[in-house]
Chain A
Amino acid sequence: MADHALLEMRHINKLFPGVKALSDVDFTLRKGEIHALMGENGAGKSTLIKVLTGVYQNDGGEIRVEGKNISIRSPQDAQNNGISTVYQEITLCPNLTVAENMFIGREKDVFVHNRRREKRANELLGELGIPARGSQMLGNCSLAVQQMVAIARAVDMNCKVLILDEPTSSLDDKEVNVLFGLMRDLKARGVGIIFVTHFLEQVYEVCDRITVLRNGELVGEYLTEELPQVQLVAKMIGKDLDEISSFGEVEEKEFSDADIFYEAKKLSSSDALPFDFEIHKGEVNGFTGLLGSGRSESVRAIFGADKVNGGTVKINGKHVKITKPIDAMKNGIGYLAEDRKRDGIIADLSVRENIILALQVMKGFFKPISRSESEAFADEYIKVLNIKTASRETPIGSLSGGNQQKVILARWLLTHPDYLILDEPTRGIDVGTKLEIQKLVLKLAEDGVAVTFISSEIEEMLRTCSRLIVMRDRRIVGELKGSDLNQAQVMKTIAGGES
């Protein structure tokens, strides 16, 4: 198998303080193949890529290019060894011409020869079928073309291994096809391509092999045609189809249309495609799908966290306009953001201050919550949610992840929402706290609060939600409830029709 291996990574380990990001991962890339690297969030694929490009150094294992042992200490090292990377965000300069972007930083001449450069650029662009001219300003090109210019630069540097990190996430279908054409062309020239993406269809369209990672470990390497889509999803999520059994069923609840609390028609935002959605009082529903499937973007649109582009929203049957988070909050919606560190906590403020934040905003800044009142609130929720903190005045940054999450939950509970959106509330927290949060969700529902629950762990969703909305490639592809609510069905829906 290793005969015509272009790149071999053996027993790669990478340690971060307290976390083993990669443990004993093997990866093999052959000449002239497109190899997909798949895995959910935290699976270690980006760490593996960063080890390969020299952004991180591996803590063990070896990397061989064409049979030769190499050590990669910097991005420059990687390039010298024929490993080039094209990132999701364009790493070119928009204020320079296409030709300059292709050649700058790697020419020996002190004076630049624009004509000669542009001629060479045009030749290469023509050869690769990239619709751009060397003399054009890069900023005038579409994103797809900019990406292809970056690839052309890599090709001109005689790269043997080309890493494409989420190259298609900002491209439309037509552009994706042009990019795939280029990828197949490079493949025919013997370049090995590592393709990182979360679009399953695209993997099956261009890739020869798939390597799946999970929790920093290698799950396996498969030929694309031998791995059905549903199997791939199972491997990424970590449950084999055989071991799927039903978990503690959520008791069925019947909702009448009169109970609808929130209803959206054709709601869309800068990041979410139009979708319809409704939720009843006392209902727990979930959005599921792989990372990047649009589940977070959809709930962000509901909360008005991204720029809302269109659609109508009804709350309790009345039309309302929600374009900013404050609109949503005034209508009784709370949103616990996915990225706790960035969108949730304010690390330097105390637990108490973090708790009263949302309530204070809703009341307006001219009606301050008195000190004694806020202390009472903080004490109450610290007790109710069992938040482990030295005191209510401890900065939230020094708490553990699970306790931080509880503080943020307390922040929203304090506003007494009618509808609470929880985006990945259980990520990165210990099992005990996870269970507590799940119980809390169910209890809130009993009290008549509508809850939307998002989690990467399907098992957890099945335990709490009575209805699951499944998303794939930014579209709602299914709605599961009742007897359909089991892991096998969810995975089939995530992976798409055929299985």
Chain B
Amino acid sequence: MKNTKTFRREPLTDSQLLMTIAICIFLVMYVGAMLIFKGGFLRANQIFDILNDNAPLIIVSCGLTIVMIGGGIDISVGAVTSLVVMACALFLNNGGNVYLSMLLAIGIGLGFGLVQGFLISYLDIQPFIVTLAGMFFARGMTTILSVDPQKVNIDPIHNLFETIHRGALVNTSIDPQTFNTSTENLTELVRDGKMTFFEAIKNMNFRTLLEGKIKIDWLGYTAPNGNRIPASMEYGVVIALLCVVVIFLLLKFHKLGRGFYALGGNQTSALMLGINVKRTRFLSYVICGLLSGISGYVFLLHTGAGNATNAVGMEMNAIAASIIGGTLLSGGVGNVVGTFFGVMILNTIKKIVVTSGLNAPWWQSVTTGGMLCFFIILQSVVIFIRSKVRRSRISKK
């Protein structure tokens, strides 16, 4: 019974172990693909493509990971994403303000999170049922709104917001008529000192956001015809990565984040330890809803169009990604970095399937299903062996 003040490295926790496995598998898979298929996989653009296409999925999966760590489930996330896309597309097309459209997205997401969270934690209704209802509701609303597929009209005249800000340009030396709101142009104006950074931000409109890309030239490649094609990352990816980082910090260092783990680990214990179980569970659904809203907006930034079939099946992909990333459905174990790699693994599989010439969509489903099954078995084997080793070690003591 000596005082153990000396620092000792602790073994990895289950969350960390499963995350490590996910990262390793991703690396093995990707390096394997590089060696076998060469071509696209050797270019950084491939990674950026995956990221650009899946930014909304990353965001939604982060939210779902939180709910799953808390021992719950939310299957409404895909439908809410779709509803946000539709609502924001309609709103922008009818002359809505860009900033207000962002608020609308967050509002819808939060609304779903608040109502579902309330029903689940304060009225004690099964989360599966509540979010199933939420899913049908959001899907239905999307269909009602989608008279026609809504492509966001990027004609400047329609954008009331933009015209107002053109008016605000009068006292600068820029001619409002020829003013171009593309990112390059705004960047130039800021660089030349003709406009402050904040003015530039103010003058960004939806088109800027939609077409805006962060180009990283040195990661690009030169096409056979001699054109330099830079690697490009949409703004949505930045938002998604930001979400991953923020939620990672929340889960690791914030009181609330630790509360999610305690709740998922053992609900009775969490209550006895003085955690407000109901509020913690409520907040997990609120955060998940909020992220669905953000995801919807990022989706719109990527596609620029609202469609009734947007994000169909996204909730299932998100669940798959979380599980592959090491989140257990039973709660208490999980990691948002793992979830990020879960999304990457899922979509690398899809890319590999496509690259190997199996273009039909069912091959993607079949392989995804197989991989998911493989992962779950691998995880339970790992957890089983660990708990067995642990038990024998304890009994030896």
Contacts and interface: CB of A to CB of B under 8 A. Distances in A.
Nearest to B9: A135
Contacts of B126: none
A131 interface: yes
A104 B275 contact: yes
Interface in B313-344: 332-333
Nearest to B275: A105
B8 A133 contact: yes
A75 B271 CA distance: 10
B266 A94 contact: yes
A104 B262 contact: yes
Contacts of B254: 110-112
A143 to B, nearest CB: 8
A290 to B, nearest CB: 28
Nearest to A119: B5
Contacts of B1: 129-131
B273 A91 contact: yes
Interface in B149-189: none
B272 A96 contact: no
Contacts of B275: 104-105
Contacts of A135: 8, 10
Contact of B261 (A92, A95, A122, A131): A95
Interface string A112-139: 1010000000100010011101011101
A106 interface: yes
Nearest to A106: B274
A126 B4 contact: yes
Contacts of A76: 274
A139 B388 CA distance: 12
B265 A95 contact: yes
A242 interface: no
Contact of B10 (A93, A110, A136): A136
B253 A122 contact: no
A92 B269 CA distance: 5
A246 interface: no
Contact of A92 (B4, B273, B390): B273
A142 B10 contact: no
A104 B265 contact: no
B268 interface: yes
Contact residues on A (Cβ < 8 Å of other chain), bracket? 35 or more
A137 B274 contact: no
A101 B273 contact: yes
Contact of A122 (B3, B258, B264, B394): B3
A126 B5 CA distance: 9
Contacts of B11: 137, 140
A90 interface: yes
A297 interface: no
A95 B268 contact: no
Contact of B258 (A100, A137, A141): A100
Contacts of B5: 122, 126
Interface in A64-110: 75-76, 79, 87, 90-97, 100-101, 104-107, 109-110
Given A93-B332, A96-B265, A105-B273, A140 B258 contact: no
Interface of B: 1, 3-5, 8, 10-11, 13-15, 253-255, 258-259, 261-262, 264-266, 268-270, 272-275, 332-333, 390, 393-394, 397
17 contacts: A90-B269, A94-B266, A95-B13, A95-B14, A95-B264, A96-B262, A101-B273, A105-B259, A109-B255, A114-B253, A126-B3, A130-B1, A133-B4, A133-B8, A136-B10, A137-B11, A142-B397
Given A87-B272, A91-B266, A135-B8, 18 more contacts: A75-B272, A76-B274, A93-B265, A93-B270, A93-B332, A94-B266, A95-B261, A96-B265, A100-B258, A104-B259, A104-B262, A104-B274, A104-B275, A105-B270, A107-B255, A112-B254, A126-B4, A135-B10
